Amino acid sequence: MIDNDKKQLALQELSTILQKHNLNSILTTNAENDKPFIIIESWVELATIQRELNRMIAPEAYYRNAIDYYNIEGNEAFQNMSFEVNHIYRVPEGLLELDDVIDWGFSDEWSTCSNCYKAIFTSPYYPGDKPRYAVLNNEVLCDDCITNECEQEYIDSVTNDYKKTLNTNIISESKLEELGWIKQEQKYESGMYKGQIDSPKKVWNEFKELGDTLFTYESGQFDINFWIWIRKSTSEDANFRR
């Protein structure tokens, strides 16, 4: 374990390392918890960061072990701080892994919000997981920026379009109800199982004359359930609710 003082020093040095070595990795905060986070561009950049962190923060341990890293790992030295000694993989005493200092991920699974520039995880954690971001006007926006700054614009972007759905991880069902949307009871299904052949276009055609429409969804590994919501255009349309 790294003590807090050394951790804070290492965090300060990260920005210096990125600038000094002209790296494309991004130092930011995680949109989910506001903790420091770094998006790593490549294995090569990971190696550079881990090497330079140890050179700055733990110089004695670094110079004691550097030759072993290069002899054993060659061009991949410092990509993985653990290496085999007597059939045991370990990190030499005194050296740091990036995990000890900051949470991080590779750029093929992480991006940044176009508004607040915080890190966004772009891969699902599990089948059925919904993203915590949306693409609006060709910009990637985190859920906080959408709900705090352009909530209605996001809702409008999926309204009256059967090819789009609203993400309830961003706008909750209770919020939709507050805004006058009414969820229809019928659950529709589309997927690989028998009978899952419902078409959003057909459903939309059934309801589009009753008012504004949008879809919400829940997905599994091999199928998706979806619901249509209606917001009445006029007060006369009173018969469509549930």
pLDDT at 74: 87
> In this structure, is residue 102 part of a structural domain?
yes
Rounded to a whole number of angstroms, the distance between the first and last alpha carbons of the chain is 57
Among 97, 223, 239, 217, smallest CA distance to 163 is for 217
8 Å CB contact between 164 and 157: yes
Q: Is residue 26 part of a domain?
A: yes
**Pair 231, 180: CB distance under 8 Å:** yes
pLDDT of residue 134: 96
Q: Is residue 25 part of a domain?
A: yes
How far is Cα 75 from Cα 163, in angstroms, rounded to an integer? 48
| Model pLDDT, residue 236 | 46
142 occurs within a structural domain:
no
Decide: residue 140, CB within 10 A, 0-12 exposed, 13-18 middle, 19+ buried.
middle
State how far the Cα of 82 lies from the Cα of 99, in Å rounded to an integer.
12
Q: Are 17 and 85 part of one and the same domain?
A: yes
The one-letter amino acid at 129: D
Domain closes at, from 76, 110, 144: 110
Say whether both 106 and 24 belong to one domain.
yes
In this prediction, residue 233 carries a pLDDT of 62
Q: Is residue 71 part of a domain?
A: yes
Q: Does some domain include residue 81?
A: yes
User: What is the number of structural domains in the chain?
Assistant: 2
In a domain, 130, yes or no: no
**Residue-range definition of the domain harbouring residue 227:** 159-232
- Mark which of 110, 143, 174 sits at the end of a domain: 110
Mean pLDDT by 10 residues, the chain (242 residues): 82 94 97 96 96 93 90 87 78 91 96 97 89 94 96 96 96 96 95 90 95 95 94 56 50
Q: For residues 177 and 166, what is the distance between their CA atoms, to the nearest angstrom?
A: 13
Output the pLDDT for position 85.
Answer: 67
pLDDT computed for residue 125 by the predictor? 86
Residue 2 burial (CB count, 10 A): 16
Note whether 15 and 87 are same-domain residues.
yes
| pLDDT given at position 155 | 97
- Residue 39 forms part of a structural domain: yes
Residue 237: predicted pLDDT: 47
